[in-house]
Each structure stands twice: as structure tokens, then as C-alpha cells.
Amino acid sequence: MPELPDVENYRRYLDAKALHKKIDHVEVGNTKILRGVSRKKLASALEGRKLEKSRRHGKQLFARLDNGEWLTLHFGMTGYLAYFEDMDDEPRHDRLRVDFSNRHHLAFANQRMFGGAGLTPDPDRFIERKKLGPDALDIDRKAFRELLNGRGGQIKSALMDQQLIAGIGNVYSDEILFHARLHPKTAAGKLQAKQVDSLYRAMRRVLETAIDRGAGTEEVTRRVPKSWLLPHRKDGARCPRCAGKVATMKAAGRTAYYCPSCQKQPGK
């Protein structure tokens, strides 16, 4: 479920562990994760080079090689990074392993293989080609208002639409809507200015706090503030605000968790 906060922490992890180290060898564990490159092409692009900087846009991670080319990583539902030395510590679902000359390894693990790895000469063009919207943390309040202005459909769909705003998925859209006290099916284009502003504030606060509390690790559920919905995404859970029962519904083709008494649908 890597969304913007998780991917941001993977980016920082990559920065801390894997930059400026010579790559000796690349092992593609499963070619299904390759996006537009062959095993051979990816290996020859990386081998002998170093990663020298990283960049994130929405859920997409990029790492630049010292020849200017960029590695692209998308985590799908089940992806994460692991840096390790002892091969006994290799993750079970390692799909792409980078071996450094310092005898350490960086694994791109991906159980369900919805993610992918590839190469691009230019992240900006990659973003353009995928028609990704602005990164959810890059956008200011005014631009956010403009995006929602005239938008049809449900607010949850809008938040999760990567071509509108990049980075938010099912889990964090629920969290943001919970904080803004909006029902997932509220009409996106009919929000009052005050509601759009509180949604914007909730979006920023949720994403930044999630990064801060270790999104992308197992501990995040325990480390998130007590007022959050995140630890209560299960059957029969209680709303941390009103102690009412958390409910689920299908919205935007996903299972949305929400509190029916804190998040009322207008007109119902």
C-alpha cells in the first residue's frame, strides 16, 4: 500500500543507504517487474555505476545514476526496499537486487508484483507521459482549490486520481477525509470554500505526519497520533473521535473506512 508517505520514507532510506556506492551486479529475480526494459538492459545500465541522487513524485521514485540516466521504481501494493549485507537477510520477495562493491545489497521487494522498475532519461518526461498530476505535497492551497473546482464525481475518487493529484491512495484518502470530516462520497465540485481549505490542511497534515511517524514501516500503525483512523481499519473498530462504530463502504472501487457519525454525507 505504498502511498506518498511510504514512498517518501523509502526515498530517504535509499538516500541514507544506497547512494555513492559502486554497483557490481544486478540480479533480476522476476522479469514481471521490469517496465519497458529487458533484464540485460537494466543490468548493463546499472552495473559499474553509482546512484547519486533521488527524487519522488507522488508514488513514483527515481534514482539518478552517475551517467545521468534514472532508475524508476514503483512499489505497487506490496513493494519496499531493504538494504542488507548477509544474504540470509534477503527479503522473501526480492525481485530486483543491486549488489554493491561494499558487499551490501539493496533489494526491491515486491510480493504481488504490481510495482515495477525501469529506466528513463528524464523524470519530468516520465511524469508527463504518465500524465501524473502535481505531487500532493508540492501543491499550494490555491492550486488545490482550482483542481477541485468544476470536478465531477466523489471526493474520494478525486483524491485518489493520480492524474489530478499524485501520491494519495486508498488508506490515506480515508485518513484525510476522516480528518476533514467529509463523507467519501461527497461531490468533489460542490464543496464550500471552507471545506476545501480544511481538506487541504488535512491532506498536508496527514501526509507530513505519516512521513514523520514512519510510514512504510510496520510500526506506523502504533506511532500515528491517537486521533487517527489508521489503526482502526478493521471490522468492529471504534471511531477514535466519537467512539461510534467505524463502517466500510465501496467508494471509487475500493473499500473505504469512515465514521458514519463524524463524516455525514450532505443531504442525507
Partner DNA sequence: AGTACCACCTGACGGC
Partner DNA sequence: TGCCGTCAGGTGGTAC
Among 49, 114, 204, 205, binds DNA (CB under 7 A): 114
Is 169 an interacting residue with respect to DNA (CB under 7 A)? Answer: yes
What are phi and psi for residue 263, nearest 5 degrees? -120, 80
Is 77 an interacting residue with respect to DNA (CB under 7 A)? Answer: yes
Is 266 an interacting residue with respect to DNA (CB under 7 A)? Answer: no
Q: Name the active-site residue from 11, 56, 59, 97.
A: 59
Is 57 an interacting residue with respect to DNA (CB under 7 A)? Answer: no
Is 113 an interacting residue with respect to DNA (CB under 7 A)? Answer: yes
Residue 3 annotated in active site: yes
C-beta of 170: minimal distance to DNA in Å?
3
Closest to DNA by CB, 14 vs 171, is 171
Among 9, 106, 254, 259, binds DNA (CB under 7 A): 254
Cβ contact 159:165 at 8 Å: yes
Q: Count other Cβ atoms within 10 Å, centred on residue 3.
A: 24
**Rg of the chain over CA atoms, in angstroms?**
20
Contact region for DNA (CB under 7 A) — 36-44, 82-90, 120-128, 164-172? 164-172
Residue 2 annotated in active site: yes
Among 60, 72, 120, 263, binds DNA (CB under 7 A): 60
Cβ contact 95:108 at 8 Å: yes
Question: Minimal CA–CA distance to 258: which of 178, 171, 153, 202?
Answer: 178
C-beta of 72: minimal distance to DNA in Å?
11
Among 20, 32, 40, 190, binds DNA (CB under 7 A): 32
User: Which residues make up the interface to DNA (CB under 7 A)?
Assistant: 1-3, 32, 58-60, 74, 76-77, 92-93, 111-114, 130, 150-154, 157, 160, 162, 169-171, 189, 233, 248, 252-255
Residues serving a catalytic function are: 2-3, 59, 254
